[in-house]
């Protein structure tokens, strides 16, 4: 007696899994159904075997991948158990029967692999589904691999266990023969866990393109994702992802499909999306060094941090220091009630009797300025630090004697300044952001 037809959603999920397009939600549904219907694993094994056999048969041809996709259409089987994958370019039943002996040989070679595929499906809840690329990834650019610096123009294979580091301001390119390409930017530490799986312990990975049938998996301390068109940045407390399309991920042991857009994933597995339009980025080109105070250097820099353009900021405190100040003219809307910026120091020399130098965000109105956010930067600390605050909690920093001050409100703000004092340092900063009232700080 023929077995019952697979439920439509399960048949669709299994077909997507074979094609390498199965999302996390469909994978979880397929795992749950197979666990509840173990007797159906044999039929699925046969279907998987045919899929593998076609791949074995066609892969050696230069046009194999395109042809394999062409012949992987679905027709209902006579007994209605599962769709059969057939060669759609073959016309008529006789031609189809002539093709079967050819496929059968490859099918025999694929039998063990087919059984393994079912095991992988049943274990899909433990990792992001993916097919391994044909070769190990290679790395080029400015990086140190297992303690040895890459020479200009050199390319090295990232074998399992290899550790690559990229210094702040440098970048390296990782690629494979399947067409996956990713840029790694410093300060970054990356480990190759095996074919198609990399661990990004800190730094940023920007995927230029990824082969859809063999995506890499990028593991961070907070999540594991199938690498696609996206940017991933890893901090000590969270992973930030900006994805151009939905992404299969494993977060806190559970499969998820991450949405399009920017989001953070915390150490506890909380995914928080960034609302579109919640912040406005100020133009780097509009900044000016305030010549009324100590000299400093400010210039645009390559790269980005969480989608924000970068700049270099250098302050060498003189023997009789005041502070250094870089100023942006700003006009705030009524709902723009906060400001924020990221900063990462590469060198810090605190003033005498101080453990670290200070940087602050200050807003000015006519006749007064107000301290919105401040952080102390210590020698040797190369983490990205977040400066952010709201006008409602700003503290009066200076006022002109005898000046009648109006309340600090968005309409009264004239400038935003980054100030540095009590030490010298070199740092990379992001362009500042203006935060809206309903925006949570990112």
The answer to whether residues 22 and 149 belong to one domain is: no
What range does the domain containing 64 cover?
A: 8-126
Residue 51 structure tokens: 């899929």
In a domain, residue 50? The reply is yes
Query: In 37-186, where does DSSP find H-type helix?
Result: 41-58, 64-70, 92-122
Residues 83 and 194 in one domain: no
Joined tokens for residue 415: 């400038």
Look at residue 71 and tell me if it is in a domain. Answer: yes
What pLDDT is recorded for position 210?
66
Determine what percent of the chain is predicted with pLDDT higher than 90: 42
Does pLDDT of 22 surpass 60? yes
CATH code, domain carrying 145: 2.60.120.1440
Using an 8 Å Cβ cutoff, are 124 and 16 in contact?
no
Q: Is residue 226 in some structural domain?
A: yes
Residue where a domain terminates, one of 273, 305, 330: 273
| Bridging pattern class, strands 217-219 and 197-209 | parallel
**Number of compact structural domains in the chain:** 3
Decide if 282 contacts 329 (C-beta within 8 A): no
- The residue out of 258, 273, 288 marking a domain boundary is 273
For residues 252 and 301, membership in a common domain is answered with no
pLDDT in tens, 390-437: 999 999 999 988 877 788 999 999 999 999 999 999 999 999 999 998
Residue 100 has pLDDT above 50, yes or no: no
- Position 383 scores a pLDDT of 87
pLDDT at 159 over 50: yes
3-state secondary structure 333-390: CCCEEEEEEEEEEEEEEECCCCCCEEEEEEEEECCEEEEEEEEEECCCCCCCEEEEEE
53 assigned to some structural domain: yes
401 and 292 share a domain?
yes
Residue 294 CA, distance from chain mean position: 39
- Map residue 279 onto helix, strand or coil: strand
Question: What pLDDT score was predicted for residue 84?
Answer: 34
Collapsing DSSP to helix, strand or coil, 441 comes out as coil
Write down the pLDDT at residue 58: 41
Residue pair 224/128 in contact (Cβ under 8 Å)? The answer is yes
Q: How confident is the model at residue 111 (pLDDT cuts 50, 70, 90)?
A: very low
Find the length of the chain.
Answer: 442
Same domain, 289 and 405: yes
Q: How far apart are CA 41 and CA 122, in angstroms?
A: 10
Q: What are the phi and psi torsion angles at 146 (to 5°)?
A: 50, 40
Same domain, 269 and 293: no
Domain membership flag for residue 131:
no
The Cα–Cα gap between 265 and 222 comes to: 6
Do 337 and 429 reside in the same domain of the chain? yes
CA distances from 114 to 4, 52, 108 (A): 21, 7, 10
Query: Would 351 be classed as within a structural domain?
Result: yes
Question: Packing angle between helix 41-58 and helix 92-122, nearest 10 degrees?
Answer: 120
Beta strand 181-194 pairing with 297-305? unpaired
Residues 145 and 248 in one domain: yes
Tokens read off for 119: 């095991």
| 42 or 185: which leads in pLDDT | 185
Residues 243, 294 within the same domain:
no
The CATH number of whichever domain residue 399 belongs to comes to 2.60.120.430
Specify if 147 maps to a domain. Answer: yes
Task: Of 152, 151, 207, give the one whose Cα is nearest residue 182.
Answer: 207
Mean pLDDT, rounded, for 357-379: 95
pTM of the full structure: 0.64
Q: Residue 61 burial (CB < 10 Å; 0-12/13-18/19+)?
A: exposed
Instruction: State the burial class of residue 308 (Cβ atoms within 10 Å of its Cβ: 0-12, 13-18, 19+).
Output: buried
Give the model's pLDDT for residue 152.
85
Whether residues 314 and 220 share a domain: the answer is: no
Domain boundary among 94, 126, 158: 126
Is there a single domain that holds both residue 234 and residue 182?
Answer: yes
- Which of 16, 92, 88 shows the shortest CA–CA distance to 47? 16
Q: Is residue 133, in this structure, part of any structural domain at all?
A: no
Residue 290 and residue 248 share a domain? no
DSSP 294: B
């Amino acid at each position: 007696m023929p077995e019952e037809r697979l439920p439509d959603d399960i048949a669709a999920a299994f077909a997507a899994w074979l094609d390498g397009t199965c999302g996390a939600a469909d994978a979880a549904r397929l795992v749950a159904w197979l666990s509840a219907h173990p007797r159906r694993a044999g039929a699925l094994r046969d279907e998987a075997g045919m899929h593998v056999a076609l791949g074995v048969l066609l892969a050696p041809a230069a046009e194999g991948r395109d042809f394999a996709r062409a012949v992987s259409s679905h027709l209902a089987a006579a007994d209605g158990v599962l769709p059969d994958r057939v060669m759609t370019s073959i016309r008529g039943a006789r031609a189809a029967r002539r093709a079967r002996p050819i496929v059968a040989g490859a099918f025999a070679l694929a039998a063990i692999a087919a059984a393994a595929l079912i095991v992988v499906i049943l274990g899909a809840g433990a990792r992001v589904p993916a097919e391994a690329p044909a070769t190990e990834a290679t790395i080029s650019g400015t990086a140190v691999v297992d303690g040895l610096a890459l020479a200009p123009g050199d390319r090295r294979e990232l074998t399992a266990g290899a550790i690559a580091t990229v210094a702040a301001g440098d970048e390296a390119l990782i690629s494979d023969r399947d067409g996956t390409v990713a840029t790694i930017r410093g300060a970054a530490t990356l480990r190759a866990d095996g074919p198609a799986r990399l661990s990004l312990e800190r730094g940023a990975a920007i995927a230029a393109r990824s082969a859809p049938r063999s995506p890499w998996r990028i593991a961070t301390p907070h999540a594991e994702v199938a690498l696609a068109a996206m940017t991933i940045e890893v901090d000590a407390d969270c992973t930030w992802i900006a994805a151009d399309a939905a992404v299969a991920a494993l977060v806190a042991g559970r499969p998820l499909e991450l949405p399009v857009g920017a989001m953070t994933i915390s150490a506890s597995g909380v995914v928080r999306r960034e609302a579109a339009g919640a912040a406005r980025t100020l133009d780097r080109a509009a900044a000016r060094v305030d010549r009324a105070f100590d000299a400093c250097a400010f210039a645009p820099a390559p790269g980005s941090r969480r989608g924000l353009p970068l700049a270099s900021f250098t302050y060498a405190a003189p023997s009789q220091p005041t502070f250094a100040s870089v100023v942006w003219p700003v006009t705030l809307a009524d709902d723009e009630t906060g400001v924020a910026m990221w900063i990462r120091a590469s060198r810090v020399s605190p003033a005498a009797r101080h453990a670290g130098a200070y940087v602050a965000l200050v807003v000015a109105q006519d006749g007064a300025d107000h301290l919105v956010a401040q952080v102390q930067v210590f020698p040797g600390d190369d983490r990205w630090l977040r400066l952010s605050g709201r006008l409602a909690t700003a503290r009066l920093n200076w006022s002109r004697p005898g000046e009648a001050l109006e309340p600090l409100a968005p309409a009264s703000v004239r400038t935003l300044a980054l100030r540095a004092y009590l030490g010298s340092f070199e740092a990379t900063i992001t362009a500042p952001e203006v935060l809206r009232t309903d925006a949570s700080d990112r």
